[in-house]
Each structure stands twice: as C-alpha cells, then as structure tokens.
Amino acid sequence: MKHARRTLRRIVRLAAVGGLLCGGLLVSNAVADEPAGTRAGGNGASGTPGTSGASGAAATGAALVERLGTSRTAGTWIGSDGLPVVAVTDEAAADEVRRAGARPQVMRYSMRELRSATETLSQSSRVAGTAWAVDYASNKVVVRADSTVSAADWSRMSAVARDIGGSVEMRRTEGTFTTRVNGAAPILTNGGRCSAGFNVTNGAEQFILTAGHCGPVGTAWFAEDLSAGQIGTTVAGRFPGNDFSLVRYEEGAAPGADANIVDIGNGQAVRVTGAADPVVGQQVFRSGSTTGLRSGQVTALNATVNYREGSVSGLIETTVCAEPGDSGGPLLAEGIALGITSGGSGDCASGGTTFFEPVTSAMNALGVRLTGAATAAGEAGGGAREGGEGGASDAAPAPSVPAAGGIAAPGPGAQRTVTGIVDLETLIPGLVLIVVSVLGLAVAQSIRTEKASYRNQYSQSWG
C-alpha cells in the first residue's frame, strides 16, 4: 500500500510538471508581441524590428531567391513548420537551398515565366471583378473571377489563359471584389466611413496613412464623434493603380504620445515598432472599425485586383476577412506594420480574401515614415512588389508638406491598454492546462500530507 501511494504521487507530480511546461509554452505562443530586437529600445527607436520568427525565415528565403535569380527560383514562403521554403527549377539550386538551412521544392515554372504570364494578363483587356496573383505553392498564376463576371468575359479571359499556357489557372470565386469603404479607429466623410491605418510623418507634420479609394485629395475627414470637428484633409494619394493616401491632421488633432499605437478594440491597442514587407505563409492580423481584430495568413504577393473603380496592382493577398468600413485599416504582425486594407471578397461570417497595399511601398512613394517607430530593412521597398506592375514609384508625390499619418487615436482622455495580440484559440487551452496541472500538484501534496498524518497517528497509537 505504501509503495502504491508513493508511485501514484510521483506519477501525478510528473504529469503536473509536464502540464505546466506545456501550458506555459501554449500561453507564450498565443501572444504575438513585438520582436525581441525592438524590446530593448522601449519605443522601438532602437533595435532591428522583424528579425525574429517569420521575419528571420523570410530573410533567409529572400536572400536565396536573390542569389539564385528569377530563372532558377519561383518564390519563397514560410512552411507550416516555420521553416523557409524556396521553389527552385533544378536540383543544383535545390542543393544550395538545403545547405542554407531552407527546404527546396522543385517546380516546373520559374519566376521569370510566371511574371511574363502576369504581364500578358495585364496587357489584355481587364475585366472588372477579376484578380490574379502568383500562387507559389501551386507554381501557377491563379486568376479569380467573382460572381459579377459574365460568361462572355469568363470565356474571353479563359482564352487568354490558354494562350499563355499551363502556368495560368482560372477559378471562379463567390462574392464580389469590392473596396471596403463604408477600421483601427473610424474616420468619416460625406462619402462614407473608412479606418485609419498608421500615423506617419515627414518630419514636419503628422498624417494618417489610409486607403486611396477612401477619398480624393481635398476630402475632409471627421472622427466618429462629429462634435469633435474635422480631424484632417486628404493631401496626397493614388487610386486606382495603387491604393494609398495621406490625411493631414488639423492643428491640435494629432494623437501626440500615442502616435504609434493601433487600436484593436475592447479598449486595447498594439504598439507599432517598425515597418516591413510580409512573406507568403506569415500569420498576420488586421484591425478595422467594422469588424475589429481579425487574423489570417499571407497567401500571395504582388496581386492585381480589377475593382469596378479601376485596377490596383502590387497588393498583398491574405485569408483575413474584412467588410465595408474596414478600408484603410492596418495589417500587422508582431508589432510590425505590413499594409493597409484595400478590398476583397466575402465577409467575416463566411470568410473571404482581402488585399492590402504594402505599407513600405506607400510610405516610400509619399516620402513619409512611421511616427515614433523604427524602420525595418524591408521598407527599402521591393519585397511585396517584387517584379510588380503599377509600382508605387510613379505615384503622385505628397505635397511639400506631406507626411505621415496613421493610426487615429481615440479622443482626448480615452483610456487604452497597450498589449500584444493574443490568439485565444491557443491561449485558452494553455490556461486550462496550467490550472489542471496546479490542481494535480495540489493532489500530490495532499497525498504526501495524508501519509505524514498517518505516520504521526500510527506512532502515537504505539506510545
């Protein structure tokens, strides 16, 4: 009996300790905080943002693609195990990828061939309601047509795809590709509602960086509380072609110390520590004034969408949902700014596809930088628009006082908790496991206490 009790106690104790370790790991992974490289700087003024996790894998893959060239590679993405995957066209390139610590995947078409296919599609008569992007994993240019595309237009686009060859795949998709006017914090105009993206500056003035389709130059913007008066005016931007604009804050309307904070709803916010280009397979988060905080993955870069208002190229394609009013809102990961919401199809009830303007390209075109945040190397441009069409370089520059705009902070006196982004699907099981493990340790201790009590009683009974 004594031996059985001791064995049971040891088993319970070991299981509880293991549960604590596993639960702690789950809780740790559930919080998408800023990269370690930025923590030392506090406000992100020092350190190199985006050098951990997905960013490290992205850097490895991008370096290999650059070294091997577009005729021997066909893109890079982050695998389900977190390792970089590089598509290559020959075994010699595959061996080089392995030596660098990445995983090769031999494909039929090179990036040069895939880009040629997208250029041919762009030169054809564009059809509203269609979109295309290079799908690295399938090694094809995937053309999607929404429910508004007629049978005649579908037939015509299919003929173009057949002429290009096997590198193009046609797909029908549900819903309609639309911009999302109607985010972070809401900003209002006579034409509808959008979401503030990121606060940026040119060193002289403060701006909100948001979507270009939200309003042309001269558009007046107001906070959700209309009694607060006008908060800014659109002074530069581009749409279609690209999808970004600058809203210059009115005097006294800029957010001040909270300029690099993004609202994610429920009184919480995330501090932005820098900007970078995303990588295919990366886990990302979006905030918008209609649907709040949503998450998903990057599925393609340099995507083209043909809205009814015109075509936009060089976009980030994701599985994150969005709805009207989310336009212009921020896309981020680990506290790093990645993009601003452009449009897409579907909704947050059934899911869908959402496209984002890369924040690095938009800021480079407008001559601004994030307010109060460091800048990642990716901001030099090119990552999300590699080989892209209609790049931001030819966008209308900001006026002589252009600057940054961005995350519209709540009104004066509003209280928010600056926090990391939490994945509740991982956090809750982790917390449950920790609680059960603590109870297990308590049970093990009670068994030991019971044993000691029995010994005392036994010794007393024998004098």
- Residues with a catalytic annotation lie at 213, 243, 327
Estimate to the nearest angstrom the gap between the alpha carbon of 11 and the chain centroid: 43
Which residues are paired to 208 by β-bridges? 199, 247
> Contact, 409 vs 184, CB < 8 A?
no
Distance between CA atoms of residues 383 and 70, nearest Å? 14
Greatest distance between any 2 Cα atoms in the chain: 102
Estimate to the nearest angstrom the gap between the alpha carbon of 7 and the chain centroid: 50
Which residues are CB-contacts of 293 (< 8 A; sequence separation ≥ 6)? 264, 265, 285, 286, 287, 421
Task: Name which of 157, 152, 155, 167 is nearest 130 in CA terms.
Answer: 157
Amino acid code (one letter) for 401: V
Q: What radius of gyration do the chain's Cα atoms show?
A: 26
- Distance set, CA 362 to CA 185, 210, 241 (Å): 20, 10, 12
Q: Which helix (H) or strand (E) holds 209?
A: strand 206-210
Query: Residue 354 corresponds to which tokens in the numbers above?
Result: 């959402």
Amino acid code (one letter) for 228: A
Query: Residue 30 corresponds to which tokens in the numbers above?
Result: 């559930």
The values of phi and psi at residue 102, to 5°, are -105, 170
> Contact, 110 vs 70, CB < 8 A?
yes
Handedness of CA 247, 248, 253, 255 (dihedral sign): positive
Please, which contacts does 137-142 make with residues 24 or more away whose CB atoms are closer than 8 Å?
A: 137/77, 138/169, 139/74, 139/87, 139/107, 139/108, 139/109, 139/114, 139/167, 140/109, 140/114, 140/166, 140/167, 140/168, 140/169, 141/114, 141/117, 141/167, 141/168, 141/169, 142/168, 142/169, 142/171, 142/300
Query: Residue 390 corresponds to which tokens in the numbers above?
Result: 């209609």
> Contact, 89 vs 112, CB < 8 A?
no
How many contiguous H segments (helices) and E segments (strands) does the chain have?
Answer: 8, 27
